[in-house]
Amino acid sequence: MTANPSAVATDWQVPTLVAFGVGRAAEFGPRAAALGSAPAVLIDARVAETDVGRDLLARLSAHRVPAASVTRVAGVPTLGDVQAAAEAVTLAGADAVIGVGGGSTMDTAKLAALLAVNPRWRDAERWRAGPLLDLDADREARLRPGLPTLLLPTTTATGSELNSVAALVFEGRRRLMITGRLAPTSAVIDPALNATLPARAVLEGGVETLARILCPYLAAPALGVTDALAEALAARCVIALDRVHAAPVDLEARAELAWIVAVSATQLVALGRGRYDHVLWYLQDPLCTMLELAKGTAMASLLPAYLAAIRAGASIGPRLGDPDRLRRLDRALAPALGRASLAEALAERLATWGLPVCLADLEVASGDAERLARACHESWHATGRLSGAELSELEAFFRGAREAAPSASPSFTPAAATSPGAEIQMKGGE
């Protein structure tokens, strides 16, 4: 079942100019010069210490684009970090903002560019209104356009270089700002920059991307063309991840995954769907915050339980997705996955890829599962498809997620320790 095209009305914003392809990082200097004469640069602290980071900063000087300021970003930004970055941009008299790194760095750059022009949104009281600030829906927001931005990702899956969302931590919890004013002016995406990213990080990023495709699809019917695109992207994503696992140095597979990340990060797969239909993002958030996990790892540990809850159609299931949509996806992906059930295929693959298939793999005890449920309820019970969710529903979901997934042979091994809240990094940086 798909939606009637004549009955669908949706907002669609795709303003970002994207330079995509192997070797496109060489254009970083000229594109920065076209953006402004004195940009503020925000760069991941670890990337700044690598040859890649030094080369990118040198390209600015080579094209006579002196950085008005350089800020090194470490980990998920707090509101204080964003306030400081916006202040630095303002004091430097920057006429553009450049972000180089993972999602946290690019989110910081986007927020700094917007808040440098809209200083009243630096006020902490505005961030106490709730976990989600949808300023497109707020007629009183009165946002002015921020400074132009150029983003260059050095890791997989984030999508921040192409979307209109930014996250920060305030009073110990993640907050999201959503507005078209956050959409980057331009982005340079060079898959070659990910060539040394550890295979584990690529696999985690791929799972995050797969969830970004699957979850809105399962939530509700949309346009036929949108569904077809989501089905094709999901199948190709799994195939690319299989290839990366089998041959970590398969640069063609990594480049294919980079394409899938870029397309999924646009609004193309979301046309005709609800704005907050990626329910798994809200479910995994307390895992990332409390256990300091990468989003891909957190989502992997919940995906089998998420699909099982939808198939069962009981308790929280209807909030997560439609069983008929899951059966349609089973049929669409069966040829590519070699299994009649998407849940079984993913559980097997997650285990093979060395990722968790349930919360028990993360050594989450029963009491911890209840803590996760409470944290999720406190933050997101009024958001999108979780709006009105009872605490008991979330407790039942997280308890179920502790059980081993069907047909999986878990071989999960924890990743090397990273700093709290940090993105998974490429060798020497992000």
What residues does each domain of the chain span? Answer: 24-189, 198-400
Alpha carbons 336 and 339: distance in angstroms, whole number: 8
Q: Degrees (nearest 5) of the Cα angle 104, 106, 110?
A: 115
What is the structure's pLDDT at 429?
33
State residue 129's pLDDT score: 84
Assigned token pair, 227: 């569904």
pLDDT score, position 105: 95
What the block records as the tokens of 364 is: 């989450």
pLDDT at position 421: 33
pLDDT recorded at residue 10: 64
Whole-structure pTM value: 0.89
Cite the beta strand spans of 108-261 per DSSP E: 132-134, 149-153, 165-170, 173-178, 186-189
245, 332 contact by CB (below 8 A): no
Q: Which two tokens stand for residue 47?
A: 């990337």
165-170: strand order across its sheet: 132-134, 173-178, 165-170
Taking the C-alpha atoms of residue 260 and residue 237, their distance in angstroms, rounded to an integer, is 7
pLDDT at 413: 53
> 44 pairs with which residues across the strands?
73
Please provide the DSSP assignment of 102-134 as one string.
SHHHHHHHHHHHHHHH-GGGG-GGGGGS-SEEE
Fold match flag (24-189 vs 198-400): no
> Which residues, listed in sequence order, are joined to residue 189 by a DSSP beta bridge?
20
343 φψ region: left (φ > 0), alpha (ψ -120 to 50), beta (else): alpha
Quote the CA–CA distance of 363 and 347 in Å, as a whole number.
18
Written as six digits, the tokens of 171 are: 């009073």
C-alpha span between 296 and 332 (Å, rounded)? 23
Digit-by-digit pLDDT tens for the chain (430 residues) are 666 656 666 666 667 999 999 999 999 999 999 999 899 999 999 999 999 899 999 988 888 888 888 889 988 899 999 999 999 999 999 999 999 999 999 999 999 999 999 999 999 998 998 899 888 877 667 889 999 999 999 988 888 999 999 999 999 899 999 999 999 999 999 999 988 889 999 999 999 999 999 999 999 888 888 999 999 999 999 999 999 999 999 999 999 999 999 999 887 888 888 888 999 999 999 999 888 899 999 999 999 999 999 999 877 878 899 999 999 999 999 888 888 899 999 999 999 999 999 999 999 988 899 999 999 999 999 988 899 999 999 999 999 999 865 545 445 554 443 333 333 232 333 3
Q: What are phi and psi of 172, to 5 degrees?
A: 80, 0
The pLDDT value recorded for residue 419 is 35
Strands (E), 179-267: 186-189
Cβ(241)–Cβ(355) below 8 Å:
no
Strand partners, 133: 177
Alpha carbon separation from 341 to 105, 131, 190, 405 (Å, rounded)? 38, 35, 35, 13
**Phi/psi at 198 (5° precision):** -55, 145
Q: How far is CA 117 from CA 93, 157, 340, 414, in A?
A: 11, 29, 52, 42
Give the type of residue at 225: V
pLDDT at 12: 65
Q: What is the CA radius of gyration of the chain?
A: 21
From residue 191, how far is each of 41, 117, 182 by CA, in Å? 21, 32, 24
Q: How far is Cα 309 from Cα 305, in angstroms, rounded to an integer?
A: 6
Name the one residue in this structure whose structure tokens are 């036929």.
Answer: 224
The CATH code of the domain at 198-400 is: 1.20.1090.10
What is the architecture of the domain spanning 24-189?
3-Layer(aba) Sandwich (3.40)
What is the rounded distance in angstroms from the CA atom of residue 302 to the CA atom of residue 400?
9
**Identity (one letter) of the amino acid at 55?**
D
Q: What is the structure's pLDDT at 406?
A: 52
